[in-house]
Structure 1
Amino acid sequence: MILVTGGAGFIGANFVLDWLEGSDEPVLNVDKLTYAGNLGTLKSLKDDARHVFARADICDRAAMDELFAKHKPRAVVHFAAESHVDRSIHGPADFVQTNVVGTFTLLEAARTYWNALPEAEKQAFRFLHVSTDEVFGSLSATDPQFSETTPCAPNSPYSATKAGSDHLVRAYHHTYGLPVLTTNCSNNYGPYQFPEKLIPLMIANALAGKPLPVYGDGQNVRDWLYVGDHCAAIREVLAKGKLGETYNVGGWNEKKNLEVVHTLCDLLDQKKPKASGSYRDQIAYVTDRPGHDRRYAIDARKLERELGWKPAETFETGLAKTVQWYLDNQAWADEVASGEYRKWVETNYGQRA
C-alpha cells in the first residue's frame, strides 16, 4: 500500500485515480477535506476496496502515527498543502500551519515508522514530497529556466512555506537518512481543478457570462503542465528516483496569462459558441496581485535524461481535453463552487475591478 496525503485535492485525486487505473496496489488516501478537498472527485472509487480513505489532518501527530501503524505503507506521496497564492496573501497563517508544520509532523511520523521497519522494508521505503516551481522566485524574460540547482527565492507566503517544507524534507534525508525524493512542478491544469485557479475560473466565468478577470497587463508567464503528465512523472520518480534528489517537472509550455485566456476563449467559441460575439469580449483587466511573479519556467531535462520521462501532452492537446472535460462535467464544477467559494471570489476580486 502507498499513503497519499491530499488525495481529495486536484493533483492528489488525479494521482489516486491514475494510480488505481494502472495498478492493483491499494492507496491509503489521507485528506483533511478543506474547501478544496472533494470526495465527489473520487466517487468512481466508492466501492473499490483498493481505495481506503481517512479524513485526517497531517498536523495531527497521533492520527498520523495511528495510520502508519495500522496500514504499514511502503511509500508516502505527499501532496497535502494549501496552494493558492491569493489565499496566502489574505491569510498566511493556514499556509504556515499546513505546509510547514504539517510537513514536519508527517516527516516525524514517517521517520518513527521507518526506523522500526525490518531492514528490507526500510531499504524499500520512500517519502516523495510534491512541491512547486514557485519556490525559485521570479524570472525575467531573458533568464534561463529554473533548474534543480536554482537557489530558492520565494516571493509569496505560499511559496515561502513550500520552500520551507522542501528544506525540511531535504534535511530529514541528510540528517536522519530518511529516503526522500522531491519534485518541483510547474502550473498544473486539467480535470477536477478547483475553480479558484486561472483555467477553471475562466471556463466557469465564461460559461456564466461573467467577466474574465486578468491580472495587470496579462503578460505574466507560466509553464503549463497537464495533470496527467504530472502523475506519470511522479510514478517514475517514486519508482526510479535517486534518494535525496530533486526533479523538476515541467510541460515545456511557457505561455503568457493573456495568451492562455485567449486560447481558452477561442476553444469555447468552437465548442460552445455564444449567441453573438466571442468569449474574448468578457475579458476584464483588474488590479494586479501584490508581488506578482513575472515569469516561471522549468527545465525538466534531468527528469528526461535520468528517468526517461517527458510530457505526452502539448499545451494545445491538454487544454482541449480540459475544456471538453469541464463542458461535460458542469455539475461537478457547480457543486464545488459552494457558498464559501463564492465569498472567496468576492473577497479576492471584488476590490480589483
Structure 2
Amino acid sequence: MKILVTGGAGFIGSAVVRHIISNTQDAVVNVDKLTYAGNLESLAEIENNKRYAFEQADICDADAMARIFAEHQPDAVMHLAAESHVDRSITGPAAFVETNIVGTYVLLEAARKYWSELSADKKAAFRFHHISTDEVYGDLPHPDEVAIGSELPLFTETTAYEPSSPYSASKASSDHLVRAWLRTYGLPTIVTNCSNNYGPYHFPEKLIPLVILNALDGKPLPIYGKGDQIRDWLYVEDHARALYAVVTQGKKGETYNIGGHNEKKNLDVVHTICDLLDEIMPKEGSYRDQITYVTDRPGHDRRYAIDAEKISRDLGWKPEETFESGIRKTVEWYLGNTSWVENVKSGAYKTWIEQNYQERK
C-alpha cells in the first residue's frame, strides 16, 4: 500500500510514519504544514527510506491537495493533521475552526474526487481513516460523584457527542463531516477516537513532557485545580499500531475507540514522573517540591475513559505498554534525547528543516 498521512511530522503522526516504514513494506507520503508542533527531526531515522516521501503543504490548500493525490496516487489516507491543544483553542479558536473543520472538508473533497476516478478494484480497497479524540464525548462521571462501589461508565463508539472546548467541538465537527461524506457520497471512511497519548517526541506544551522538562529545569510543575482530573493514558507507539490495524483491517463506516486502559489522576501522573526522576536523576530534595497549583481552565472535563473492547474483539489489538512501563520509557527517552528537546525549545529545528528539505525542492 501507499498511505498518505496528514500531520505526519506531529507527535502521533510521526509515530505512525515511523511504525509503517520500520515494520511494514508499505510506502508513506507525509503531508504536513510544519506549524510550531510539526518537527521533521522526529522522522530523522526514516527520512532517507525509499518508501518515504514528504510534502510540505496545508490541508486547507485545495490545489495542493489535488496535486498531491494526483502525483502520489495513494491507496489510503490517514488524516491526523489538526490543531490539538485545548488551552490554545480557548485563547485562539479561529485556527482550530480553520484547520480541523475547513481543512478536513478540503481533504475530504480532494479524496472524494480522486477516489471517484479510481478503477473498481482500487475504489473498493480505498480507505479514508480520520483520527479523532475522546474529547468529542465531553466528560464522564468522576469517582467522587458516584456512590462508592458503583461501576463507572466508559466512552463507547455510540456515546453521544458533547464537546466542551473549541478544540473538541472542532474535532466533533470534523468527525461529522467524515461520516457525512460516507453517507452522502459513498467515500469509504473510518473514524477512530483515542484517549490521551504520551511517549517520545511529544511537543513540550502537553502535560507529561512539560512536567519532565520543567522538573529538570528546576521550574514549577503547574497543576490545574486540585489535579483530580482523570485521563486514560495511551502510549503513542501502541496507538500507532492500532491505527495501522484500523486502516488495513477496519471495516468502512465503522468507528473504533482506542484507549490504554490506564485511568490516572493528573496529580498521580505528575507524582509518578517526579518519583522516576528522583530515582534516575536524584537531586537535593524531591522533584515533588516543585509542584504548584494554578487556577483551573474554563470548561475543564473531569474524566475521560475509553472502552476499547471493539477494536480488541474485531481487530485483535491491545496495548502492549502499561502506564508504568510506558512512562518510564518516556522519561528515559527525554533524558537521553536532550538535543531534540533543546532544538524544539530553541526553534533550531526550523533551520535544520531548511538545510535538509528546502534545498531538495
From 220, 231, 238, give the equivalent of 1:222.
231
Per the alignment, residue 346 of structure 1 pairs with none
Task: Describe the superposition over 1:274-299 as per-residue Cα deviations: whole angstroms up to 9, x where unpaired.
Answer: 1x111000000011111110000100
Distance 1:214 1:205 in 2: 12
Displacement of 1:339 after TM fit? Answer: 6.5
- Does residue 292 of structure 2 align to residue 284 of structure 1? yes
Does the alignment pair 1:192 with 2:193? Answer: no
Q: Gaps (5+ residues) in structure 1?
A: 341-353
**Amino-acid identity (%):** 65
Determine the C-alpha separation between the residues in 1 that align with 2:139 and 2:347.
34
Q: Which residue of 2 aligns with 1:131?
A: 132
Work out the CA distance in 2 between the residues paired with 1:260 and 1:25.
Answer: 36
Say whether 1:153 aligns with 2:162.
yes
Question: Which position in structure 2 is the counterpart of 1:171?
Answer: 180
Q: Which runs of 5+ in 2 are unaligned?
A: 147-151, 349-361
For residue 6 of structure 1, what is the aligned residue in structure 2? 7
Query: Which residue in the other structure is 1:304 paired with?
Result: 312
The TM-score, its normalising length taken from structure 2, stands at: 0.93
**C-alpha distance in structure 2 between counterparts of 1:311 and 1:204, whole Å:** 26
Name the structure 2 match of 1:40. Answer: 41
Q: Which moved more, 1:256-265 or 1:15-24?
A: 15-24
- CA distance in 2 between counterparts of 1:297 and 1:69 reads 40
User: What does 1:89-100 align with in structure 2 at a 5 Å threshold?
Assistant: 89-100=90-101
Name the CA distance, whole Å, in 2 between partners of 1:153 and 1:338.
38
Runs of 4+ in structure 1 deviating by more than 4 angstroms, as ranges, are: none
In structure 2, what is the Cα distance between the partners aligned to 1:138 and 1:47?
43
Q: Identify the residue that residue 110 of structure 2 maps to in structure 1.
A: 109
SS in 1 for 2:128: strand
Q: Deviations over 1:97-135 (max 9, x none)?
A: 000000000000000000000000001100000000000
TM-score under structure 1 normalisation? 0.95
- Per the TM alignment, residue 24 of structure 1 is displaced from its structure 2 partner at its CA by 2.5
Q: How far off its partner does 1:46 sit?
A: 3.0
What does residue range 269-348 of structure 1 map to in structure 2 within 5 Å? 269-274=278-283, 276-338=284-346
For these two proteins, the number of residue pairs brought into alignment is: 339
- Name the structure 2 match of 1:79: 80
Change (3 A) 1:292 1:334: same
Letter in 2 for 1:325: W
CA distance in 2, matches of 1:338, 1:86: 21
Q: CA RMSD in A?
A: 1.0
3-state SS in 1 of match to 2:173: helix
The offset of 1:51, in angstroms, is: 1.2
Write the distance in 2 (CA, Å) between the matches of 1:95 and 1:198. 20
Counterpart-to-counterpart distance in 2, 1:25 and 1:187: 27
Paired AA for residue 108 in structure 2: L
Question: What is the CA distance between 1:36 and its match in structure 2?
Answer: 0.2
SS in 2 for 1:337: helix
- SS class of match (1:319): helix
Deviation of 1:47 after TM superposition, in Å, equals: 2.0
SS in 1 for 2:122: helix
- The equivalent of 2:359 in structure 1 is none
Q: Distance in 2 between matches of 1:48 and 1:30?
A: 16
Structure 2 SS opposite 1:148 = coil
